[in-house]
Amino acid sequence: MAVSLPGAPFAHAAAPHAVHLAQPAPVLEAHQLTIDYVSDAGRVRAVEDVDFRVTEGERLVLLGPSGCGKSSILKVLAGFVNPASGSVQMRGREVTGPGPDRIVVFQEFDQLLPWKSVRDNVAFPLRVAGKLGAREARERAEHALVKVGLARALDAYPHTLSGGMKQRAAIARALATQPDVLLMDEPFAALDALTRRTLQEDLLALAEEHRFTLVFVTHAIDEAVLIGTRLHLLAAHPGRTIATYDTGDLGLAERGSPAFEAMVAQVHALLFADGGRHV
Amino acid sequence: MSEADFGNHARLLAAAESPRAARPPLVRRPSLAARIWRIAAVRRAVILAGLVLIWQVAASIQNNPLLFPTFTQTFAAFVDSLTHEDLARSALASIAVLLKGYVIAIALALVLVSAATAVPFVKEVLLTLTAMFNPLPAIALLPLAMLWLGLGEASLLLVLVHAVLWPFALAALTGFEQVPETQRLVGRNYGLKGPAYVALILIPAALPSLLSGLKIAWAFAWRTLIAAELVFGVSSRSGGLGWFIYRNRNELLTDRVFAGLVTVILIGLLVEVVFRFVENRTVRQWGMQR
């Protein structure tokens, strides 16, 4: 099931959605992804037969209730976990392990390494993964941190930062490495509402400027509609695809507009069609 | 907000603002005495001075230098032993042996712990060994060590390695296991593997536990060494601090016994200061330990 909103002003939404061949080659592609967890009780199926593709500059949001396996999918995309069956391809090449071409922003505040200053946290992947020299890494790190509004916190250690600043630093770190695709696992879920709102806006501004490719996991419907150019809805136990939506025309300017709210309501109705009993 | 509302609001603000001028500033600098008292070294010095005073008074009342010399007598014996006797050489001999045993044991522990984090069965083995040997006082191994290796440095090293290996291995294992999952994933995300992953992620992330393990192991080693030296010294040539104490007790030079004990304590304090300095520059500065 694919839904395109009428009158969408963006080119990719205007193209007939069903014709995949007309789209540019995908950056990241998941093919019939099935993920199992092995626990003491036995094998538990977390995700079943999920397909999607992310093209250059696209922002795909994986959205679903807890237990739909959206974070598991992200772990597989990052290469931390192997799928039970199916495959993930990065620019046509099979993903077999983690790598700096897919940098992850986690939800947890402790993702910044506490023994490095904010600047060194951002420069660290550039040194070890990007093989940059100390000075170049430092300059690029500072540039990225200024971009996310942390110019004053360059020399601070992570434990002195607020939650929102930590997530900003993590985003700067991911941006500085210039990965082929950014993976974000509910990066704003542990923030207070005001901070979350500012960070969403700033992330969108950065996305407009850099046109990065993003896979974003969230359980918040309004956040999904706002951030994503495309939504991928998942049902829980096990995670299965319910629907996909193009939401590239619903951004910051449309927040709170009738079209935006209608989309949120529609997604909500679809996710909780059975009254939320599957959650 | 209407014009009238705004006016009201402004007046309210002004009313709230006016007493502020009389208020003291938000940041108040503490007095000079309070600031000096905040320096840890100053507080420690005051405590030490108090203890010395109590010692001096108690020993003067006792008035029996053969059993309990005063602080001043001990201090004189200390200076005399340093300049005319072999106290300095004994201390250096003890420290040299200690460092040797310490380094061997730490290296051994790191190898064992690395193997244990990689292979679950090795971890099982290590945990069992630690549970068995950690409660066993190192000094209890000395008779056996002397039987096997004779009266010499080798016996002391065996006892020292035993004293350091198990507590440090336990601390290191706990430290590595407590590295947050997110930080592990971050390291793997950058493509770090093997030794680079251990050196750049695991060791710094486990540093609080590693440092506290090093500290505990050092204290065990120091105690064990001095106790072991009481039996036969480091070797026939250079005695060691324990041997210095033992010899002077035999000659009833109690003030020198005290000087030897004070040296043991001073070296302990010095190492404590070094550890504290390292902690302040690392784990405390990084907010990983309070």
Which of A113, A124, A131 would best serve as a mutation to test chain B binding (most B beta carbons within 10 A)?
A113
Instruction: Give residue B137's region: left, alpha or beta (phi > 0; psi -120 to 50).
Output: beta
Q: What is the pLDDT of residues A180-223, one digit of tens each?
A: 999 999 999 999 999 999 999 999 999 989 999 999 999 999 99
Is it the case that residue B4 has pLDDT exceeding 50?
Answer: no
A219: which residues sit within 8 A by CB, 6+ positions away?
A: A63, A64, A65, A66, A70, A186, A189
* pLDDT > 50? residue B236: yes
Compare CB distances from A111 to B186, B188, B204 and report the shortest one's residue.
B186
Inter-chain CB proximity B285 and A125 less than 8 Å = no
Digit-coded pLDDT (tens) for B258-267? 999 999 999 9
pLDDT in tens, A83-128: 999 999 999 899 999 999 999 999 999 999 999 999 999 999 999 9
Which of the residue ranges A239-248, B55-64, B160-169 would you say has the lowest mean pLDDT? A239-248
Q: What is the DSSP letter of A239?
A: B
How does residue B28 score in pLDDT terms, banded at 50, 70 and 90? confident
Task: Tell me how close the Cα of B279 comes to any Cα of chain A, in angstroms.
Answer: 12
Q: Which of B188, B192, B288 comes nearest A114 by C-beta?
A: B288
Between A and B, how many CB-CB pairs are < 8 A? 64
Residue A130 confidence (pLDDT):
77
Interface pTM, i.e. ipTM: 0.86
Question: What's the whole-model pTM score?
Answer: 0.82
DSSP H or E segment with residue B70: none
Instruction: Tell me the C-alpha distance between B244 and B250, whole Å.
Output: 10
> CA A59 to CA A247: how far, in whole Å?
10
- Residue B30 C-alpha, separation from nearest chain A C-alpha, in angstroms: 24
Asked if the C-beta of A166 comes within 8 angstroms of chain B's C-beta atoms, the answer is no
d(CA B197, CA B176): 12
Residues contacting residue B174 through CB under 8 Å, at least 6 positions apart: B209
Note whether A80 contacts B286, CB cutoff 8 Å.
no
More confident residue, B20 or A142: A142
Alpha carbon B152 to chain centroid distance? 27
A72 and A240 Cβ atoms separated by less than 8 Å? no
Contact A143, A106 (CB under 8 A): no
Cβ-based contacts of A178 with chain B (< 8 Å):
none
- Sequence-ordered list of residues with C-beta below 8 angstroms from that of A215, at least 6 positions apart, any chain: A28, A54, A60, A61, A62, A74, A77, A181, A182, A183, A184
Tokens of B111: 């190898």
Angle between helices B71-83 and B87-118 (to 10 degrees): 90
Copy the structure tokens of residue A171: 């985003």
Mutate to test the interface with B, among A115, A131, A185 (most CBs of B within 10 A): A115
The interaxial angle of helices B207-232 and B241-250, nearest 10 deg, is 30
**What are the distances in angstroms from CA A244 to CA A29, A62, A91, B279?**
15, 9, 22, 53
Distances (CA, A) of B287 to A16, A121, A123, A267, B92: 54, 15, 20, 42, 36
CB contact under 8 A, B185 and A106: yes
